[in-house]
Copies of this chain bind each other. A is one copy, B any other.
Amino acid sequence: MALLYKSDPVRGRRWRALFAEHAPDIEFREWPDIGDPADIHYLLAWQPPAAIATCLPELEVLFATSAGVDQFDVSTLPSTLPVVRMLDPAIEQGMVEYALFGTLWLHRQMYDYTRQQRERTWQAHSLVPAAQRRVGILGLGHLGQAIASQLGSLGFSLSGWSRRPREVDGVTCYAGGETLDRFLADSDILICVLPLTEATRGILNRSLFAKLPAGAALINIGRGEQLVDADLIEALDTGRLSAAVVDVVGEEPPASDHPFWQHERLLLTPHIAAMTQPETAFPVLLDNIRRHQRGEPMNGEVDRRRGY
C-alpha cells in the first residue's frame, strides 16, 4: 500500500523521512516514479495528474497539500473520490502572521513612509488608534477566525462576513449576501480569506470597492482569481482605495508588464503568506489516513457541491 506525492520536491524529502520514521507501513512514492499504479491508495498533491481514474485505478483519497482545493478541476475527478484539504497548523500560523503584517503595514501607513524614505522626507502622519480602525474579514472559517483572534488582541475593531451564520467572540458577524453591503461599509481594512468558488470569482471588483469607506485598504490572501486586477489599480489611482497588500494573483507569476509590480501603494508578495510544512502537516495527514482505514470521517473533507 503506497502514497503518491506530487508537489514541491524539496519538501518531498522531508515528507519521505516522516513517513519512513512514523508510518513505515505506508510506502512513500514520488511523482513521476509511481511504480505499480495498483499499489497507490493515497495521493498527496498540489495538482493531481490528468486522467486520475485510469492512471490510479485503486486511489481511495486525494489529499491536497493546500488549504484551498480550487486548483483541482473536480469535474475530471471520479465522483466518489473523497477530496481532503490540508489543515496544517503552519498554514494558519502563516496566514495569521501575514494578515497581521499587512494590517499593520496599512494601519501605520508604511506605504507612505517607504516612499518618504526614498524621497528623503522626514514627516510624521497622525496616528489612528487601533480601536478606531475597523478591520473587516471576508471569510470567517478557521483561518478568518484565527486572524480575528490575533487582531482583536491588538485592539482593532473587528467585523466579519461569511456565507453561513457564525458567532465569533469580539467580532461583529454578518452572514449571507444581503448583509454584504453593510459589512463593507464598516471595513476600513478589508481582508479577503474566502475560498475560490464560482460565487467568489471576481468578487473584489469596482462595485465592491465602491461600497467600502473612501480611502479604505485591501489585503488579498484568498485567491488571485477573486480580484479584478484592473479594478484595483483604478481604485488606487482614483484614491477610492488608499493602498493594498496582495499575495495571490490570477496568473502566477504575473507578466512582466503587470501593473502590480510597480504601484507604490501596492505591496506584492509571491504567494508566500502560508506554506504547508511537512513537520506539522504530517500528523494531520496520518491521522486522516488512519481514520480512513478505520472507516471514520476525515478532517477537512471537501463538500464537492460547495467547492470547499
User: Residues on A close to B: CB < 8 A?
Assistant: 90, 93-94, 96-98, 100-101, 104-105, 107-108, 110, 113-114, 116-118, 120-127, 129-130, 150, 153-155, 252-254, 256, 261-262, 267-272, 275, 277, 280
Contact = CB atoms under 8 A, between A and B. Distances in A.
Total copies of this chain within the assembly? 2
Nearest to A94: B127
Contacts of A118: 261-262
A270 B129 contact: no
Contact of A108 (B126, B150, B154, B272): B272
Tell me which of A90, A124, A272 has the highest count of chain B C-beta atoms within 10 A of its own C-beta: A272
Nearest to A255: B120
A150 B97 CA distance: 12
A123 B270 contact: yes
Contacts of A98: 108
A100 B268 contact: no
Contacts of A114: 114, 267
Given A101-B104, A110-B267, A122-B252, 7 more contacts: A93-B129, A96-B154, A97-B104, A113-B272, A120-B261, A124-B271, A129-B280
